[in-house]
Amino acid sequence: MTDLDTFARAQRAIAECRRIAQMSEEPGRITRRYLTPPVREVHALLRNRMQALGMAVVLDAAGNLRGLMRPAGGDARRLLVGSHIDTVPDAGAFDGVLGVTLALELAELAQQQKLRLPIEVVAFSEEEGARFGVPFIGSRAVAGRFDPALLALTDREGVTLHEAIRSFGLDPEKIPEAAIGEHSLGCFEIHIEQGPVLEAENLSLGVVTSIAGQSRFSIKFVGRANHAGTTPMNLRRDALSGAAEWIAEVEALAKRTDGLVATVGRLDLHPNAGNVIPGEVTLGFEARHPEDSLRQQAVKALLDCASSIAARRKLGIESICEMDQSAVPMDERLAAFLSEAIESLGMPSRRIASGAGHDAMVMASRVPTAMLFLRSPGGISHHPDETVRTEDVEAALRASLKFVERLAAEFR
């Protein structure tokens, strides 16, 4: 396989992402939520590609399109390779989709090389949670982690998940059948980094070590609303000033703690008037770190800090934990194979934690899972300006091929 061939394949994988980007709910913008009409167009395109490769194609009951390539005399156990085809509103062309178009190029290369490792390409139906507010519906089904209670979720139009699946022509009762069994030896996802780290280090590729754990809190500071003109500064109980002091502490702690990201992204202010001292403010806070103990330590320190600020300023304080999700490590052995694959191309294998959730995180709860990141120019994602460099896409394809060659040898 010459380099020219992989470069042409990288160009084709990119062109297909651009083509799929045209399949949208909104003209001029890329918006393709779970089980909406453009999803059918994407399925038709991918199905053609899969069938041309001789794959057995199935649309499972959660709407995941799956093509299985089973080489003659191949092992019964297969490697799942894929990513998601749904998007956030006004998305870029590559988040998720590139992991599917590259998986198809990879499967074709494996076929040409007569690798005996069966590959199942999966176009996960739902990862972003943009329609029903809950992410990873597709990969939950494949991992056998789908909770039937989710079927009662409703979208903005009041359509339940159950109804949406039915009107797409699928049977929600059959979702358990979408789960992989003993015949799956692992899962592999290729995805854009969606962040600036690889670009800052001038690297094409990164090996994901883990998906960061996440804490989300709602924190309320309660003071006393009063007249902004008549209440002297020393007699105020200003909830927003207390919150502002705390927000500065959140940033300071995150800046001095390696690997920690912490954000106050939401403020609800009451009464929210220019001439009234703020009486109540509720903050939406989140923190992420690849190591759970360090994340929990940081969160505890910040909650203690909020309490002492509140006490000093005679404010009430309430906090509600909305999410405490553990970090999910990727499989060490597969990550080592992936590192070797990158190094065999003469590139450094940067190990990197993912701050965002991915289908790989859900799949890792079921099978050994590896994830490859490629550079996001400008660190831009979830935005129409999201892009990729052809040479990075080619590097991802070449490294992925080395990786499956290694797996094929390992599981012969």
Compute how many residues bind Zn ion; rule: CB under 5 A. Answer: 2
In terms of CB distance, is 193 or 280 closer to Zn ion?
193
Q: How far is the CB of 96 from Zn ion (least distance, A)?
A: 4
Least Å distance, CB 315 to Zn ion, is 40
* Choice between 192 and 283, CB closer to Zn ion: 192
Stretch that binds Zn ion, among 91-99, 139-147, 168-176, 299-307 (CB under 5 A): 91-99
Nearer to Zn ion, 122 or 298 (CB): 122
Pattern 176-195, Zn ion, x by CB under 5 A? --------------------
Shorter beta-carbon distance to Zn ion: residue 95 or 331: 95
Closest to Zn ion by CB, 100 vs 408, is: 100
Question: Rounded CA gap, 188 and 192, in Å?
Answer: 14
Q: How far is the CB of 98 from Zn ion (least distance, A)?
A: 9
Q: Which of 88-96, 165-173, 304-312, 338-346 is the region at the interface with Zn ion (rule: CB under 5 A)?
A: 88-96
- Least CB distance to Zn ion at residue 349 (A): 22
Closer CB to Zn ion, residue 38 or residue 96?
96
In the complex, what is the shortest distance from the CB of residue 297 to Zn ion, in angstroms, rounded to a whole number?
29
96 binds Zn ion (CB under 5 A): yes
Shortest CB 84 distance to Zn ion, Å: 6
Residue 95 within binding range of Zn ion, rule CB under 5 A:
yes
Residues near Zn ion (CB under 5 A): 95-96
